[in-house]
């Protein structure tokens, strides 16, 4: 009789536990999550990515090791190539200017979120992260042409400047409020330290190809570098939208 009673109690506890598990709104061990910022007024709401210390747009992902421990990764690659072309007549001449500016960067921050008990819907947490940023070289290729009845004068400029490196330590306090299962609205407030080295050696090569006469070149080299140490306090709490799966 005792065996049947024990089996019945164990079965009831299992059913209740399973039901409670189904009813929870919060993510569980093994779940993934994505996070976006909510910007704008009520009539102009929009979702945006967060940004790094040098304005790189970030993708924020999370992986739940347990209900209270979460790996958090901010990842932000950026590759930019901007081309401009203009042509205009100046008297009997046609003047054209073409230019291409290229640069790239990569930002990565990894850390751990510690979630506290809260309630069924409220999920407070703190975050500690280390961040690294790599800024590629900036390169500018430009050409100016002056076309006349006699031919074309060309002046080309090639400019290169070293990139840089960034490092930071960030602490964040925030909370989620779950509106539905695995879907939450919340806020975060951050502070931290960041170091940024930007620039370095640069070179500028100017080459002139006249209609008549020989080609001439001029090379300028130098160094222009900025090092900054900043203690950042995000004075405005970020409103965030999170989804877990």
Where are the strands (E) in the chain, listed by range?
Answer: 32-39, 46-48, 59-64, 69-90, 93-115, 122-135, 138-148, 151-161, 164-180, 183-209, 216-233, 238-244
- In terms of residue numbers, what domain contains 24? 2-244
Residue 185 has pLDDT above 70, yes or no: yes
Q: What is the pLDDT of residue 15?
A: 44
Kindly indicate the confidence band of residue 56, based on its pLDDT and cuts at 50, 70 and 90. low
Residue 204 has pLDDT above 70, yes or no: yes
Q: What is the pLDDT of residue 232?
A: 76
Mean pLDDT on 188-198 = 90
Q: What's the domain count of the chain?
A: 1
As given in the structure block, the two tokens for residue 111 are 């850390």
pTM: 0.71
As given in the structure block, the two tokens for residue 166 are 């960034």
- Taking only the tens place, the pLDDT of each residue in 108-141 is 999 999 999 888 899 999 999 999 999 999 999 9
């Amino acid at each position: 009789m005792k065996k049947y009673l024990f089996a019945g109690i164990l079965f009831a506890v299992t059913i209740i536990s399973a039901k409670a598990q189904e009813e929870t709104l919060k993510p569980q061990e093994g779940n993934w999550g994505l996070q976006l910022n909510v910007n704008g007024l009520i009539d102009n709401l929009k979702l945006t990515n967060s940004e790094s210390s040098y304005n790189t747009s970030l993708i924020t992902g999370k992986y739940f090791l347990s209900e209270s421990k979460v790996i958090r990764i901010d990842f932000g690659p950026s590759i930019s190539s901007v081309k401009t072309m203009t042509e205009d007549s100046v008297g009997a001449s046609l003047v054209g200017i073409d230019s291409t500016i290229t640069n790239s960067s990569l930002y990565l921050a990894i850390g751990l979120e510690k979630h506290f008990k809260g309630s069924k819907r409220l999920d407070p947490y703190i975050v500690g992260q280390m961040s690294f940023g790599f800024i590629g070289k900036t390169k500018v290729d430009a050409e100016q042409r002056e076309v006349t009845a006699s031919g074309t004068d060309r002046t080309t400029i090639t400019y290169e400047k070293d990139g840089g490196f960034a490092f930071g330590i960030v602490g964040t306090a925030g909370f989620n409020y779950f509106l539905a299962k695995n879907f939450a609205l919340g806020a975060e407030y951050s502070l931290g330290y960041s170091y940024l080295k930007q620039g370095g050696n640069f070179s500028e090569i100017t080459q002139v190809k006249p209609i008549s006469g020989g080609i001439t070149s001029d090379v300028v080299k130098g160094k222009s570098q900025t090092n900054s140490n900043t203690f950042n306090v995000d004075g405005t709490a970020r409103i965030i939208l999170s989804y877990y799966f």
